[in-house]
Amino acid sequence: MKQIQWDLAILSHEGIARDTFRLKLAAPMLEEMPKPGTFFNLTVPDQRFLLKRPISVFAVDHARKEISFIYKIMGEGTKALSDLRAGDTIRVIGPLGNGFPIQDDAHKVLLIGGGVGVPPLYELGCRLKEAGKEVITVLGFRDQSSVFCEAEFRSLGQTVICTDDGSYGFHGLVTQAIEEHGIEFDVLYACGPRLMLKAVDLKYRDHKTGYLSFEERMACGIGACYGCMTETREGLKRVCKDGPVFRLGEAVYHD
Ligand SMILES: Cc1cc2nc3c(=O)[nH]c(=O)nc-3n(C[C@H](O)[C@H](O)[C@H](O)COP(=O)(O)OP(=O)(O)OC[C@H]3O[C@@H](n4cnc5c(N)ncnc54)[C@H](O)[C@@H]3O)c2cc1C
Ligand code: FES
């Protein structure tokens, strides 16, 4: 799909967990579904914010021509976004980024999400299930009040919810939950905090195939400013344009 700027009507905008909102937009221009793992740059409805905020596609309803996003309030920009109401219009640019590839030869697929990295995995899980794959999901949240979309992921297959403080589900890290539940898989897809991605990458890069989506801080979001560079084995790459999805084993970590 050609990347372009759109003014889209807000169909609904609701709180679904602590500081977490689901935003559904009418997207009549949709000719093909945005790939899972791609993102849109959302304009903050406050002129103090020149930069748009990158938010991943959570779900696409192609028949109704609707796109949904889920975002968490992290700072002033996302807080201002949360003031938007159904009936308002929002300017967006997208879809952006490379998205998750679907690997035909893998049957058993593991989705690993952490916090604001959970949303892009849902549309991916839907596509994988449609393609006949067995989908297993392990999601990590800070605490019970931060958990969202458990029912949606359960509808795709086995789902394990982890919390850092043990207030809900498995008490511990997603990597510990995968081990303790004896989860086996052919390919993994992960999105979440960099430390989580690093742990997943270092644990599986030598013997598994997989894809990691890096939600780096961005400026232009369209590949022009080189403000989102990350080091990979093939040199520096722009997360917004060359990513945000990178192969397991591709990233270089110094921290
Ligand atoms: C490709 C991509 C997809 C994303 N998808 C989603 C999504 O689906 N849902 C969602 O809730 N968020 C997503 N994010 C993160 C989201 O863009 C940021 O949380 C948002 O831009 C913060 O804006 P702000 O003005 O509210 O916060 P700011 O005032 O800009 O920052 C507030 C705090 O959050 C930290 N922060 C800001 N951006 C990021 C980031 N990208 N990664 C880690 N920490 C950050 C800052 O360092 C600061 O501590 C995505 C980011 C990228 C790059
Ligand atoms: S944010 Fe400008 S090049 Fe990636």
Residue 252 lies in a domain: no
Instruction: Tell me the percentage of the chain whose pLDDT exceeds 90.
Output: 85
Dump pLDDT digits (tens) for 15-36.
999 999 999 999 998 778 799 9
In this structure, are 228 and 120 located in the same domain? yes
**pLDDT exceeds 80 at position 255:** no
Residue 135 Cα to ligand 2 midpoint, Å, equals 32
Q: pLDDT tier at 215 (50, 70, 90 boundaries)?
A: confident
Tokens for 177, please give them.
């939950």
Residue 126 lies in a domain: yes
CA of 219, closest atom in ligand 2: 1
CA of 78, closest atom in ligand 1: 26
Identify the domain boundary among 32, 67, 96.
Answer: 96
| Number of the ligand closest to the Cα of 218 | 2
Task: Indicate if ligand 1 lies below 6 Å from the C-beta of 192.
Answer: no
pLDDT given at position 132: 95
Q: pLDDT tier at 80 (50, 70, 90 boundaries)?
A: very high
pLDDT given at position 1: 55
In this structure, are 66 and 179 located in the same domain? no
Residue 46 lies in a domain: yes
What is the distance between the alpha carbons of residues 218 and 221, in angstroms, rounded to a whole number?
6
Q: pLDDT tier at 3 (50, 70, 90 boundaries)?
A: low
In this structure, are 82 and 174 located in the same domain? no
Task: Indicate if ligand 1 lies below 6 Å from the C-beta of 194.
Answer: no
In this structure, are 28 and 133 located in the same domain? no
Tokens for 123, please give them.
């549309």
In this structure, are 138 and 185 located in the same domain? yes
In this structure, are 50 and 166 located in the same domain? no
In this structure, are 124 and 213 located in the same domain? yes
In this structure, are 211 and 232 located in the same domain? yes
Residue 240 lies in a domain: yes
In this structure, are 234 and 177 located in the same domain? yes
In this structure, are 167 and 64 located in the same domain? no
Identify the domain boundary among 68, 96, 124.
Answer: 96
For tokens 């392990």, name the residue.
Answer: 138
| Number of the ligand closest to the Cα of 224 | 2
Q: Omega of the bond prior to 244 within 30 degrees of 0, cis?
A: yes
What's the one-letter identity of residue 201? D
CA of 225, closest atom in ligand 2: 2
Residue 101 lies in a domain: no
CATH code, domain carrying 121:
3.40.50.80
The CB-based long-range contact list for 144-150 (8 Å cut-off, 24+ gap) reads: 144/168, 145/17, 145/18, 146/17, 146/18, 146/20, 146/115, 147/17, 148/16, 148/17, 148/20, 148/70, 148/118, 149/16, 149/70, 149/118, 149/119, 149/122
Task: Indicate if ligand 1 lies below 6 Å from the C-beta of 210.
Answer: no
Q: pLDDT tier at 96 (50, 70, 90 boundaries)?
A: very high
Residue 60 lies in a domain: yes
| Alpha carbon nearest to ligand 1 atom 28, residue | 75
In this structure, are 17 and 69 located in the same domain? yes
Identify the domain boundary among 65, 96, 127.
Answer: 96
Total domains, the chain: 2
Task: Indicate if ligand 2 lies below 6 Å from the C-beta of 223.
Answer: yes
Section 134-149 average pLDDT: 97
User: What is the three-state SS of the chain?
Assistant: CCCEEEEEEEEEEEEEECCEEEEEEECCCCCCCCCCCCEEEECCCCCCCCCCEEEECCEEECCCCEEEEEEECCCHHHHHHCCCCCCCEEEEEEEECCCCCCCCCCCEEEEEEEHHHCHHHHHHHHHHHHCCCEEEEEEEECCHHHCCCHHHHHCCCCEEEEECCCCCCEECCHHHHHHHCCCCCCEEEEEECHHHHHHHHHHHCCCCEEEEEECCCCCCCCCCCCCCEEEECCEEEECCCCCCEEECCCECCCC
Task: Indicate if ligand 1 lies below 6 Å from the C-beta of 74.
Answer: yes
| Number of the ligand closest to the Cα of 98 | 1
Domain that holds residue 241: 108-247
| Alpha carbon nearest to ligand 1 atom 32, residue | 75
Section 221-235 average pLDDT: 91
In this structure, are 117 and 81 located in the same domain? no
Task: Indicate if ligand 1 lies below 6 Å from the C-beta of 53.
Answer: yes
Residue 23 lies in a domain: yes
